[in-house]
Amino acid sequence: MTQKYKTINFPFPNSFEQLTKSFTKTLLMYNKTHNITGSKDENSIQENMYDSVYPLQFLSHIPKTAVDIGSGAGFPAIALAFAIPSCHFTLYEPIAKKSAFLHLIKSELSIRNIDIKTARIEKEKPKIVDFITSRAVCSTALLMKLSKGFYDKNTIMLFYKGQKANEEIADLQNAQIFTRGLRKYILIKGLGSAV
C-alpha cells in the first residue's frame, strides 16, 4: 500500500492497490476514444481514487449493500468496491458510453461485487440498502428524493460535494460534513423510512 493510502484509517484489502492501477490503465485507454472523464492522466485519476475512498474512515460500520447514483467513470463507486469487497454495489449510470465502460471494468478486472444498471435510479424498483453514494450529480435534496425507497433509518448516505455543502444540509439534523481541501463529504444517517 502506498504511503498516501496509509494516511486513511481504513482496512484496505491487499488487492486494492493492484486493482487501482489496472483501473487507471484501462480508463486512460478508454478515455482516449470515448471521453468519459476530465481526468486525462494517471495523477488526476489517482487523485479521484483517493478522493473516493478518503471518507471511508468516517463510517461507523462496513456496509453490505450499496447503490451509487450517476456512476460516470466510476468515481466513487469503483474505488469503493475495490476498498470494500464484502459490500455489493449497484451502479446506476444512464449514459450508455459510461455504462459500457463500467461493464468493461467489471469484466476485465473480474469485479464480483458490482452490478451496473444503464438506468436512472428513480426508474428502478426500490430496495433498502445500507449505503448510498453519489458524486457531483445534483443537490443533496434531489439525491434524497431520487433514492426514495432505497433507504431507512439504518442507511448511511455519502455525498461528495463542493462549496455549497453547508447550504444543502441546512435543514437536515442527521448530517455531518467532513472537509479535505475544497472537497466536502456529506454523511447522513438515521433519516427514517423513505418508502
Domain extent for 168: 12-180
Any domain includes 195: no
Q: What pLDDT, on a 0 to 100 scale, did the predictor assign at position 4?
A: 84
Q: How many CA atoms lie within 13 A of 123 on its CB side?
A: 8
Q: In angstroms, how far is CA 25 from the centroid of its own chain?
A: 19
pLDDT one-digit tens code per residue, 32-72: 999 899 888 999 999 999 999 999 999 999 999 999 999 99
Count of CB atoms situated within 10 Å of the CB of 136: 12
Any domain includes 78: yes
Which residue in 57, 47, 52, 45 sits closest to 8, CA to CA? Answer: 57
8 A C-beta contact, residue 25 and residue 71? no
The three grid cell numbers given for residue 32, joined into one nine-digit string: 482516449
Cut 0.85: pTM above it: yes
The CATH number of the domain where 105 resides is what? 3.40.50.150
As for how many domains the chain has, the answer is 1
Q: What pLDDT, on a 0 to 100 scale, did the predictor assign at position 194?
A: 42
Q: What pLDDT, on a 0 to 100 scale, did the predictor assign at position 192?
A: 58
Q: Which residues contact 169 (CB under 8 A, 6 or more apart)?
A: 140, 175, 177, 186, 188
**Which regions of the chain are under pLDDT 70?**
1, 192-195
Q: What pLDDT, on a 0 to 100 scale, did the predictor assign at position 45?
A: 95
